[in-house]
């Protein structure tokens, strides 16, 4: 049977973090009572005209610069026409053949374009499903109408649902670190549509695509794409054809329903917005955008890997979670020369994050980052803790106990070690008699060890730990055992 | 004492400042005349001076240049709390929450609002017969149209119902009714007057302008309407970038002025009487020292077809907002759904000409037709812009008859849209080129006024006003309203549909 591969492109709408709307002075606030942030312009009252928000353009240019795309020299807007109550003018002011950014790349996915436009108002449909089908009435909140959006369109270079969701996480973190958007999927400041087609493996032309609309979590994106790929594959294997259409994925039922077919698709009648003649992008605006782009996750990960020698996985973890990365670098600074960077990375990425996340059970979606800088564990304390463990002044297990105390109460590791008597049972001199005693007490284990079977050494380590109340170093116990037995 | 109605804007403002006349006296004199209007020029009249402030708390100080001058304002200008319908049933009764920049600036200079004037619905028309408030009658002959779309504004000034009026010009809508009513109409350079608060017809062409009894008044009102670029309108360039301000014209000679006459625009459509009057005016210009030369505007003959694609295309989009959801009159659809709400509201609310242009424009922008229509028309427009630029390397001003004919009979062209569209053939090229143009009355043909159009390069308003003023002095056209007061023709359509104040 022919094997098929999915071909996926994403279209991401990002609400830009400006103070005011795209074409008027209304303030942007999420969650305020409906229709409290409106004016004649964003309500499309007769006679009103749009005036472009320079900050939105600056943020759009920052996105383009971050992706290495080609930045437009002039701003050209088009009108995209369709009738719907969420669109007060009967057209959306968007961009068409001259987007703000052309090309570019983020990680493993190339970009087609980034353009800026205004968001539609928010419709709420009263009725069982919350969707327009079957609803009895609909109400409109124009607070959202006119919010600046950047639409980011990828090339069809994604080959799996998992790749789509992991790339989208990278995009979200990159945009977050750029500071151009809140990128909050629940509040809708980041929304994702996927264009999906399948083709026989090895084929280079594209199959007929469908567009899966508005999936508002990473999990739904993966589920939705997988469901649609499965649907298309089943269709094609049954000898049928995929129809070009716009689809909705219902995460509750896992079902996919058609919103409109190609025949029912809009003719948007794009034409140049006559209320806003083309204007050159002012040089100050461009320079301001270029100089505002910070070090971004992929660059930081690369630096952590090549300059600090972190493993790939640690480098990405710390770079993709800005708060962790910043805390990591502060800890290195506090620790000074000679600090074991990989160990610090491990302690932050595993032990500290796990403890801090356990503290905040409310954050189940993991939408907001855990920030160790907000905890009671100072970078200096963590650096000291890692140094104690690396120098074998305490063993790892003791280190974890110290960290428990730091997370709960703060303080300095050395003080905790002393208060709790966690200092490691010193060097070989102190430990050797204890190991010898354990070997003497377990002749059967010794016999196995002598045959080269090292598995039962755990029993020796366990006995030593029991004797030292856990303060011995497991590696040291093994080393001494080998020495005594001449292995 | 002088009859206040006989005073021009400049004269009235001066009398008000001197205290020879009170603001109330002047307002009431015009209010009384306008209330007895039999030309259907107004869609709304202010009850008193207070109502004429249009949303302002108090009248500006008496030291302002236009303090106390009442103006007739085209219905499509938004004025806070004042009925503003653009002569459409869809918006009948709508009262905007804000005031248009152009009107706000006039108010700031002291002007008050006498009333809103009738017009073609959404400014689409050349005869003022496409109005939800009924047609306007030409004060010179009440069986004739006043021209359009600013027909009410022109008729109100011609009939002496207001000292001056504000109109808008998209393809000739200030100049042509001014010509047909024997008054002065100025269409400024595109962008010099803010469009904010004008209910849009065609965004890239719409431009507000004054309609007055004489050229000096047009200069004074234009000066008040322009100014710095409006931060609410990205197409506004204002007058701030120009070195000189607008002066009240006083020129008496035209020495050294070169006037070009585009032979293409004097084809068979121009009536002999209009042609004779136009030629006589040019002869007077030469007597004042001007040189008149023939010029070529090779693409001007395509202006009509380009305009009737571009303007409807923009209009089809600009009028999409009238859906009955947020404002205006919503059709009662019972249990009907969204599509029915849109369909019925727009079906009931828009008149036939508006629907025709929405269809034309929608078609021109449709996928598959865009290149053949909209794009082609834009290319033609660029050629026309280049034609005017080339012509102005040789001549200072370009002269044409404002309208190929004098005012025609009510109902005469309503069944033939193309004949109606051809009324604009001499004003459309300047609109597409974005250049300023004035129409001044230059004589009579069959007892009806003939208009002379003078246009110039962008921002040459002062030169145009100076030349028009010099010619006005020698042409001796009597625009005083008393001269043509007379009983309504017995078969004239009744004035209908006026909103209550």
Compute how many other C-beta atoms are within 10 angstroms of the C-beta atom of residue A436. Answer: 13
A364 and A281: one domain?
Answer: no
In the predicted structure, residue B491 carries a pLDDT above the cut 80: no
> Least CB-CB distance to A43: which of B316, B320, B326?
B326
Three-state secondary structure call for residue A487: coil
Q: Rounded to an integer, what distance in angstroms lies between the CA atom of residue A98 and that of residue A77?
A: 8
* Span B67-84, average pLDDT: 97
CA distance to partner chain B, nearest, from residue A272 (Å): 10
Contacts of A277 in chain B (CB under 8 A): 234-235
Residues A400 and A472 grouped into a single domain: no
Q: B283 and chain A: CB distance < 8 Å anywhere?
A: no
Is A21 an interface residue toward B (CB < 8 Å)? no
pLDDT bin (cut points 50, 70, 90) of residue B493 is very low
A25 with A97, same domain? yes
Give the whole-number percent of chain B exceeding pLDDT 70: 95
Interface check for B365 against chain A (CB to CB < 8 A): the answer is: yes
> What domains appear along chain B, each with residue ranges and CATH number?
4-253+474-491 (3.90.1300.10)
Domain finish residue from A393, A420, A447: A420
Q: Which among B149, B150, B194, B431 is annotated as catalytic?
A: B149
- For residue B445, indicate whether it is catalytic: no
Average pLDDT over every residue of B353-362: 97
A374 CB contacts (<8 Å, ≥6 apart)?
none
Whether B222 contacts B208, CB under 8 Å:
no
A209–chain B nearest CA distance, Å: 21
CB A173 within 8 A of CB A321: yes
A388 and A474: one domain? no
For residue A303, the enclosing domain spans 297-420
- What is the mean predicted confidence (pLDDT) over B419-434? 93
Q: Annotate B466-479 with DSSP letters as a single string.
A: HHHHHHHHHH----
pLDDT band at B291 (very low <50, low <70, confident <90, very high): very high
B180 pLDDT more than 60:
yes
Which among B203, B235, B170 is positioned nearest to A271, based on CA atoms? Answer: B203
Q: Give yes or no: residues A259 and A210 share one domain.
A: yes
Examine residue B149 and say whether the peptide bond preceding it is cis (omega within 30 degrees of 0).
Answer: yes
Closest C-alpha among A381, A296, A284 to residue A66: A296
Q: Does A462 touch chain B (CB under 8 A)?
A: no
User: Of A270, A291, A312, which residue is a domain's last?
Assistant: A291
Distances in Å between the Cα of B462 and the Cα atoms of A445, B11, B328 are: 110, 20, 40
pLDDT at A229: 96
CA distance A214 to A122: 14
Shared domain check, A345 and A202: no
Cβ contact, residue pair B327, A47, below 8 Å: no
Domain count, chain A: 3
Beta strands in B315-462 (DSSP E): 397-401, 437-445, 448-456
User: Of A279, A276, A265, A272, which is closest to residue A79 (Cα–Cα)?
Assistant: A272
Q: Would you state the pLDDT for residue A137?
A: 80
Where residue A460 sits, what CATH number does that domain have?
1.10.10
Could you say which of B316, B321, B366 has the minimum Cβ distance to residue A44?
Answer: B321
Question: A250 and A337: one domain?
Answer: no
pLDDT at B293 (0 to 100): 98
How many beta-carbon contacts under 8 Å exist across A and B?
Answer: 100
Asked if residue A86 and residue A34 are part of one domain, the reply reads: yes
Q: Which of A359-363, B313-317, B475-479 has the lowest mean pLDDT?
A: A359-363
Q: How far apart are CA A281 and CA A76, in angstroms?
A: 10
Q: Above 70 in pLDDT, residue B380? A: yes
Which of B76, B326, B367 faces A88 most closely, judged by CB atoms? Answer: B326
Ordered mean pLDDT values, 10 residues apiece, chain A (487 residues)? 92 97 96 96 98 98 97 97 95 97 97 98 76 74 97 98 95 95 93 96 93 89 95 94 93 86 78 96 96 95 96 94 93 93 95 88 57 94 94 89 94 90 72 86 86 85 84 83 84
Structure tokens at A469: 């109340």
Q: Tell me the mean pLDDT in the region B71-99.
A: 97
Say which of B203, B323, B362 has its CB closest to residue A274. Answer: B203
Is residue B211 within 8 A of residue B430, CB to CB? The reply is no
pLDDT at B498: 44
Distance of CA A480 to the CA centre of its chain: 46
Do A211 and A321 fall into the same domain?
no
Q: Is residue A306 located within the same domain as residue A261? A: no
- Mean pLDDT score of chain B: 92
N- to C-terminal Cα separation, chain A: 57
Predicted local confidence at residue A128, as pLDDT: 56
Residue A189 has a CB neighbour count (10 Å cut-off) of 21
Mean pLDDT of B395-419: 95
DSSP SS3 for A125: strand
Sign of the four-CA dihedral A425, A431, A435, A436: negative
A221 with A331, same domain: the answer is no
**Count of helix runs (H) and strand runs (E) in chain B:** 14, 11
pLDDT digits (tens, 9 = 90+) for B86-119: 999 999 999 999 999 999 999 999 999 999 999 9
Per DSSP bridges, beta strands A279-280 and B42-45 are unpaired
State residue B496's pLDDT score: 41
Percentage of chain B beyond pLDDT 90 is: 84
């Amino acid at each position: 049977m022919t094997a098929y591969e999915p071909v996926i492109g994403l279209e991401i709408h990002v609400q830009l973090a400006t103070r005011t709307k795209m074409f008027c002075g209304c303030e942007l606030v999420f969650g305020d009572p409906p229709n409290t942030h409106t004016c004649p312009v964003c309500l499309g009252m007769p006679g009103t005209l749009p005036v472009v928000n320079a900050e939105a353009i600056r943020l759009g240019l920052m996105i383009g610069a971050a992706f290495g795309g080609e930045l437009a020299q002039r701003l050209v807007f088009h009108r995209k026409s369709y009738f719907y109550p969420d669109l007060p003018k009967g057209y959306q002011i968007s961009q068409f053949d001259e987007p703000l950014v052309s090309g570019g790349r983020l990680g493993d996915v190339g970009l087609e374009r980034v353009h800026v436009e205004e968001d539609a108002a928010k419709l709420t449909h009263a009725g069982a499903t919350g969707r327009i089908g079957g609803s009895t009435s609909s109400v409109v909140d124009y607070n959202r109408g006119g919010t600046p959006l950047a639409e980011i369109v990828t090339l069809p270079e994604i080959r799996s649902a998992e790749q789509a969701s992991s790339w989208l996480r990278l995009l979200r973190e990159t945009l977050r670190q750029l500071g151009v958007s809140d990128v909050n999927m629940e509040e809708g400041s980041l929304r994702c549509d996927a264009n999906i087609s399948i083709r026989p493996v090895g084929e280079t032309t594209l199959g007929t695509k469908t567009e899966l609309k508005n999936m508002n979590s990473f999990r739904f994106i993966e589920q939705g794409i997988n469901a649609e790929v499965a649907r298309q594959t089943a269709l094609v294997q049954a000898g049928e054809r995929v129809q070009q259409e716009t689809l909705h994925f219902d995460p509750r039922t896992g079902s996919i329903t058609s919103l409109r077919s190609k025949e029912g698709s809009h003719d948007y009648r794009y034409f140049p917005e006559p209320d806003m003649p083309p204007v050159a992008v002012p040089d100050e605006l461009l320079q301001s955008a270029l100089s505002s782009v910070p070090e971004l996750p992929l660059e930081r990960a690369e630096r952590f890997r090549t300059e600090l020698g972190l493993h790939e996985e640690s480098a990405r973890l710390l770079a993709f979670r800005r708060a962790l990365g910043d805390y990591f670098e502060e800890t290195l600074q506090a620790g000074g020369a000679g600090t074991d960077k990989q160990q610090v990375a491990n302690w932050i990425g595993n032990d500290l994050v796990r403890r801090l996340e356990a503290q905040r059970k409310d954050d189940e979606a993991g939408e907001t980052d855990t920030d160790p800088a907000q905890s009671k564990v100072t970078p200096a304390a963590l650096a000291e803790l890692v140094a104690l463990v690396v120098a074998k002044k305490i063993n790892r297990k003791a280190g974890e106990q110290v960290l428990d105390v730091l997370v709960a109460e703060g303080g300095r590791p050395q003080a905790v070690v002393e208060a709790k008597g966690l200092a490691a049972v010193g060097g070989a001199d102190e430990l050797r008699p204890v190991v010898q005693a354990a070997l003497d007490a377990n002749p059967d284990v010794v016999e196995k060890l002598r045959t080269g079977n090292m598995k039962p050494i755990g029993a020796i380590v366990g006995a030593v730990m029991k004797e030292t109340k856990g303060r011995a170093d497991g590696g040291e116990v093994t080393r001494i055992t080998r020495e005594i037995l001449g292995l | 004492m002088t009859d206040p109605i006989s005073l021009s804007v400049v004269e009235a403002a001066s009398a008000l400042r001197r205290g020879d006349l009170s603001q109330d006296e002047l307002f009431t004199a015009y209010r009384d005349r306008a209330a007895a209007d039999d030309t259907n020029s107004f869609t709304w009249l202010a009850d008193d001076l207070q109502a004429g402030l249009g949303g302002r708390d108090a009248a500006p100080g008496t030291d302002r240049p236009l303090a106390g001058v009442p103006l007739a304002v085209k219905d499509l200008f938004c004025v806070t709390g004042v009925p503003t319908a653009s002569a459409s049933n869809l918006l009948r009764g709508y009262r905007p929450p804000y005031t248009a920049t152009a009107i706000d600036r006039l108010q700031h200079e002291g002007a008050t609002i006498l009333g809103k004037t009738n017009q073609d619905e959404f400014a689409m028309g050349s005869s003022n017969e496409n109005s939800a408030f009924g047609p306007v009658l030409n004060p010179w002959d009440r069986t004739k149209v006043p021209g359009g779309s600013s027909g009410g504004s022109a008729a109100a000034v011609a009939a002496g119902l207001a000292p001056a009026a504000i109109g808008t010009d998209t393809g000739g809508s200030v100049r042509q009714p001014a010509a047909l009513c024997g008054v002065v109409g100025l269409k400024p350079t595109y962008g010099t007057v803010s469009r904010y608060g004008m209910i849009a017809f065609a965004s890239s062409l719409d431009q507000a302008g004054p309609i007055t009894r004489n050229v000096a008044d047009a200069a004074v009102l234009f000066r008040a309407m322009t100014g710095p670029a409006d931060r609410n309108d990205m197409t506004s360039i204002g007058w701030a970038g120009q070195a000189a301000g607008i002066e009240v014209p006083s020129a008496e000679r035209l020495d050294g002025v070169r006037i070009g006459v585009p032979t293409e625009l004097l084809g068979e459509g121009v009536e002999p009487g209009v042609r004779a009057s136009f030629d006589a005016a040019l002869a007077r210009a030469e007597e004042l020292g001007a040189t008149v030369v023939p010029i070529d505007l090779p693409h001007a003959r395509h202006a009509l077809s380009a305009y009737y694609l571009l303007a409807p295309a923009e209009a089809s989009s600009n009028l999409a907002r009238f859906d009955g959801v947020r404002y205006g009159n919503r059709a009662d659809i019972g249990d009907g759904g969204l599509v029915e709400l849109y369909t019925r509201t727009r079906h009931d609310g828009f008149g036939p000409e508006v629907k025709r242009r929405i269809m034309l424009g929608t078609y021109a922008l449709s996928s598959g037709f865009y290149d053949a229509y909209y794009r082609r028309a834009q290319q033609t427009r660029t050629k026309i812009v280049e034609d005017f630029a080339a012509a102005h390397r040789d001549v200072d001003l370009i002269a044409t008859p404002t309208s190929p004919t004098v005012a025609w009979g009510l109902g005469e062209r309503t069944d033939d849209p193309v004949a109606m569209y051809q009324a604009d053939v001499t004003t459309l090229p300047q609109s597409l080129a974005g250049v300023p143009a004035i129409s001044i009355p230059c004589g009579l043909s069959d007892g009806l006024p003939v208009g002379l159009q003078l246009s110039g390069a962008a921002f040459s308003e002062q030169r145009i006003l100076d030349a028009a003023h010099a010619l006005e002095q020698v042409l001796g056209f009597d625009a005083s309203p008393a001269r043509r007061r007379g009983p309504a023709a017995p078969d004239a359509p009744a004035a209908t549909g006026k909103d209550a104040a």
